[in-house]
Structure formats: C-alpha cells, structure tokens
Chain A
Amino acid sequence: MNNVADPPRPTAPDAVHADDLTVVRGSRTVLHHLRFTVPRGQITGLLGPSGCGKSTLMRAIVGTQAKVTGTLDVLGRPAGHPGLRSRIGYVTQAPSVYDDLTVRQNLDYFAAILDPARAASDRRGTVERVLADVDLTSHADALAGNLSGGQRSRVSLAVALLGTPELLVLDEPTVGLDPVLRRDLWNLFHDLAARGATLLVSSHVMDEAERCHRLLLMRDGRILADDTPDALRTRTGTDTVEDAFLHLVDEAATADASTTDRTKETSR
C-alpha cells in the first residue's frame, strides 16, 4: 500500500504559498483564512469530504476563482498571473474535453493553443507521449464522447500533461477508475514528481492519502492538518490516515464546542 519513496528535497521556494486565503461564493465564505504551502517536486494530497472546499481551493490556485482575498502565490507569482497559464496543468473533476472530437483531435487542438510556435511534428510527438502516459494510444482515434467515464477523465488528464507543466492541479483524477488503473495513474504521478513536477491531487478517498508525500486535510473550508502521512499517524496515534482524519475532526469539534461554551459564558 505504502509505495511512497523518499520525498525529494525541496530546493526552490514552495510551489504554492497561501496566507490568510479567503474565498467567498455568493453570500457564503467557502475558504476561511487558509495558510499552507505546497512544496515543489512532491505530491501533495488535498483530502476532505465532498463540499469542504477542495475544488474552490484548486480553482483559486489555477486562477479561475473569483473573489479570492489574502496572499496566494503560485510558482513565485500571484495566482492567476498570465505568465502562469502555460506553467500550470489543471484537470477539473468533470472531464473537460470536446466530446465531438477524437482523443487525438482534442490533444492536437490543446497542444496548438499551448504552444503555437512549435513545429507540428514536435507537437505530434508530445501528443503521442501523453497518450502513452495515460494509456490511451489504442483509443486515440475514438470520439471522446464514445469513451467510458474513466477513459474520458484520462483524456482530460492527458490535456493537462501536454505542456509539461511545473505544477499539476488534479481534481479527483481517480474517481470511477478500477484499482489497476488507479495504481497505474498513481505510478504516473510519482514518475511526474520524480521528473520535477509538483502535483496537487484532491481526493475524498482516504486510502489514496498514503500515496502522497504530504497531505492537506480539509474540512468545512478550513485546513485541519498540513503534514506527511507518517507524521499525521504518529501525532494522532492512529494506524491509518482515515483514522487520523477522524481523530482531528473530533478534536476540532471539541475545540469548537468549548469556544462556543466560552462565548456563551462571556456573553452571559
């Protein structure tokens, strides 16, 4: 299960640095004063139950989320900076590809958008590489709309790999995949990290946490923990990350309850 190699030593400054990061959607505050870092060249898992703000946080990092306040630096620049657009690969939860194009046509188009100056033959090579990376070479000429859900999400992932991005933000990339594919994708993520890429991978499946170098545990728009899986288990005296998460949730609930009690007392 635990196939995490020794995490590479971070040399450059952190890939993502957030301080007092708050995001408001409508009248609701979705993220509350977050403070965390994502080190370079590692896989950071973003874990938490559905609706806890994982996707919003990812959208803030790639610069597509409105109403973001506080500090959020990505690869040394403020999130959303135009210069970052070709350095970040982003995969949304729902596969965002053209259903009425073939897999290869999808990749050709996005490759042309990412780097129009490159020779077409160069781009073709890149397309073949990412097709092999996500194991879709045999389906290259199938219409994306005719593929299974898991295959479509891999097309979406392939698009994000096109530009060899420094930072990959993957929103639940392994949902709906069979165990073999899931293992293969995680091996790919580790390959990418070994090649120097930084990965931020969200999941609500806790067993995937064990495969990350670092974890950000989220709940209700707050970060419960920012640590390595080992350190988390040791600190909470639990055997799995899932138990560690539950332990932290209970701890936070007790803390909440006591603060509410105290406020009640002071208001009395």
Chain B
Amino acid sequence: MNATAPTGALNASRTTATAARVLRQLRHDPRTIALMIVVPCLMLVLLRYVFDASPRTFDNIGASLLGIFPLITMFLVTSIATLRERTSGTLERLLAMPLGKADLIAGYALAFGALAIVQSALATGLALWLLGLDVTGSAWLVLLVALLDALLGTALGLFVSAFAASEFQAVQFMPAVIFPQLLLCGLFTPRDRMHPVLEAVSDVLPMSYAVDGMNEVLHHADMTATFVRDVLIVAGCALLVLTLGAATLRRRTT
C-alpha cells in the first residue's frame, strides 16, 4: 500500500495507529477510564440490593442493563471524543492527510470496542458470579451482546456528534437519543403490553433488540433463532449508523 493511497479500502496500520492514539489519549485521563469501568459495576451492586427481596426482578433488569450500560457509556464517550476531534481542528488536519474515513472510524470502533470488552467482562463477571444473577445461557453470549451494544453506542455517538456544535449539545443528545429507547426497549414493561403505537415504534429501535437478545440468553440454554435475529439486527444497525457517521465526516467544509 503506498502512502498516497486514497480513501476506500481499510488500511490496517492507519487503523491500528488511530486506535492506539485514542487509547493513549484515554490513558492520560485515568479518571474517565475509572468512571467508565467502575460506574456500571456500582450500579449493578446497587440494583442487586434494591431488589434484595425479589431476585427474579434483579435477573430481568440486571441482564437488560448488562446490555444497556455499554451502549450508553460508549455513546457518551464517542460523541464527546469525536466532537473534540471536530472542534480542535485535528479532524480537518487528518482528513487533509492520506487517511481514509473508514480508517478513522474503524480506529475509534477498535479502541472503544476494546474498552467495552473490559467494561462488559467486569460487569458480567460481577453480576453472574458475585451478585448471583441467574442466567440460563452462556456467559459468552452475554458478553457478545454487550460488545455489539457497545459498538452500536459508538456508532450512534459518532453520528450525533456531527449535529452537535458544543459539548453541551452533545451531552443533551443522550436524553434525546438514548432515553426514548430506554423507555421503549422493554426494560420497564414488556413491549407487547405497551400502547400499539409505542410497540410499533419500539420495533424499529435498535435497543429493543439489544435488550431482547439479553433476555433470550437469560431464559434459554441454547442460542435461539430469536437470539440470532436480535444479534444480527443490532450488528446491522451498528454498521448502518457507522456508515451514516462516515458520511458526516467531510473533507471539504464551508
């Protein structure tokens, strides 16, 4: 691959260089890492003792949250990180260099994906073995769903950062984009018991499938067809939104 190669195919070394750079930036900010890793664990502990008297409820909500936490954290971190990249001028600089947009996005996805693995592994391990969350299926499947959710969060964060002019706005996108999905994803009440209009809306929101996938693992020992469908939908949505996000990275701006 020569240095002047234009965009298009993914360049492995540029992608890994970008991922390493993003992780290096985070390493200079240990407090953010600590918050990302510790807060989900603390929430699970809190939840466990809030539902001290009803372990079944903890199973249901806890499993759903194992999918929702990585989505929310990655959404926040990515939207702020890419917004900073846009406002600091480094994005313009990078796009004036021989860097493909796909390299940049894949680099971010790789870095935050790695972080999501650590976060999900800790949260899942804690929930399953220390807090007694009772999951019928395999812990690996829980981790897989959590990872895909993290990827979806990264994709959504990247996408909305294009519409935020400041960090204040970026943070406000969290209630705008995440809360409706949180209310409609079946966490609070099964989706088929919602008003039909809301149920229809929840059918097209990706978080519904993230939570649904977790519930499949919770209740079934084997990989069910529904689980496979859920996983594919979440992965497909993540890829779709990542592509939309790539379209918002413009080499030429006004």
**A interface list, Cβ under 8 A from B:** 25-26, 62-68, 80, 82-83, 85-88, 90, 92, 94-101, 105, 109-110, 112-117, 143, 159
Interface check B92, CB cutoff 8 A: yes
**Nearest B residue (CB) for A99:** B88
Query: Does A109 contact B3, Cβ atoms closer than 8 Å?
Result: no
What total count of A-B pairs have CB within 8 Å?
Answer: 102
Question: Once bound together, how far apart are the Cα atoms of A82 and B96, in whole Å?
Answer: 9
Q: Which 10 A-B pairs have the closest CB atoms?
A: A96-B89, A82-B6, A116-B13, A112-B17, A66-B252, A109-B21, A85-B98, A96-B93, A100-B25, A115-B3
Query: Does A116 contact B96, Cβ atoms closer than 8 Å?
Result: no
Q: Which of A62, A64, A68, A101 lies at the interface centre, i.e. has the most chain B CB atoms within 10 A of its CB?
A: A64
Interface check B28, CB cutoff 8 A: yes
Cβ < 8 Å to A, chain B residues 148-193: none
Query: Does A117 contact B254, Cβ atoms closer than 8 Å?
Result: no
Query: Does B17 contact A90, Cβ atoms closer than 8 Å?
Result: no
Shortest distance between the CB of A99 and any CB in chain B (Å) = 7
1/0 contact string of B240-254 vs chain A (CB within 8 Å): 000000000011111
Query: Does B89 contact A90, Cβ atoms closer than 8 Å?
Result: no
**Nearest A residue (CB) for B88:** A96
Question: Once bound together, how far apart are the Cα atoms of A127 and B211, in whole Å?
Answer: 48
Question: Once bound together, how far apart are the Cα atoms of A140 and B6, in whole Å?
Answer: 31
Residues of B near A143 (CB, < 8 A) are 28
Query: Does A88 contact B96, Cβ atoms closer than 8 Å?
Result: yes
Point out the residue from A82, A95, A159 that lies within 8 Å of B98, measured CB to CB. A82
Query: Does A64 contact B13, Cβ atoms closer than 8 Å?
Result: no
Question: Once bound together, how far apart are the Cα atoms of A100 and B250, in whole Å?
Answer: 24
Interface check B54, CB cutoff 8 A: no
Cβ < 8 Å to A, chain B residues 85-143: 88-90, 92-99
Shortest distance between the CB of B59 and any CB in chain A (Å) = 40
Q: Which of B1, B18, B96 lies at the interface centre, i.e. has the most chain A CB atoms within 10 A of its CB?
A: B96
Q: Which of A66, A68, A92, A113 lies at the interface centre, i.e. has the most chain B CB atoms within 10 A of its CB?
A: A113
Residues of A near B1 (CB, < 8 A) are 116-117
A113 with B251, Cβ < 8 A, contacts A90-B93, A100-B25 known: no
Point out the residue from B2, B3, B88, B253 that lies within 8 Å of A65, measured CB to CB. B253
Query: Does B98 contact A114, Cβ atoms closer than 8 Å?
Result: yes
Point out the residue from B3, B90, B251 that lies within 8 Å of A86, measured CB to CB. B3
Shortest distance between the CB of B14 and any CB in chain A (Å) = 5
**Nearest A residue (CB) for B21:** A109
Question: Once bound together, how far apart are the Cα atoms of A83 and B6, in whole Å?
Answer: 7
A113 with B14, Cβ < 8 A, contacts A65-B252, A67-B254, A92-B89 known: yes
Shortest distance between the CB of A82 and any CB in chain B (Å) = 3
Shortest distance between the CB of A248 and any CB in chain B (Å) = 29
A64 with B17, Cβ < 8 A, contacts A97-B90, A114-B97 known: no
Query: Does A63 contact B254, Cβ atoms closer than 8 Å?
Result: no
Question: Once bound together, how far apart are the Cα atoms of A90 and B95, in whole Å?
Answer: 11
Query: Does A83 contact B4, Cβ atoms closer than 8 Å?
Result: yes
Shortest distance between the CB of A175 and any CB in chain B (Å) = 15
Residues of B near A86 (CB, < 8 A) are 3-4, 97-98
**Nearest B residue (CB) for A145:** B28
Cβ < 8 Å to A, chain B residues 203-254: 250-254
Query: Does B252 contact A98, Cβ atoms closer than 8 Å?
Result: no
Shortest distance between the CB of B237 and any CB in chain A (Å) = 29
Residues of A near B94 (CB, < 8 A) are 113
Query: Does B24 contact A101, Cβ atoms closer than 8 Å?
Result: yes
Question: Can you pick out 17 interface pairs between chain A and chain B where the beta carbons lie within 8 Å of each other?
Answer: A62-B96, A64-B95, A68-B252, A85-B96, A90-B93, A95-B89, A98-B25, A99-B88, A105-B24, A109-B21, A112-B13, A113-B14, A113-B94, A116-B14, A117-B3, A117-B13, A159-B93
Query: Does A98 contact B21, Cβ atoms closer than 8 Å?
Result: yes
Residues of A near B99 (CB, < 8 A) are 113
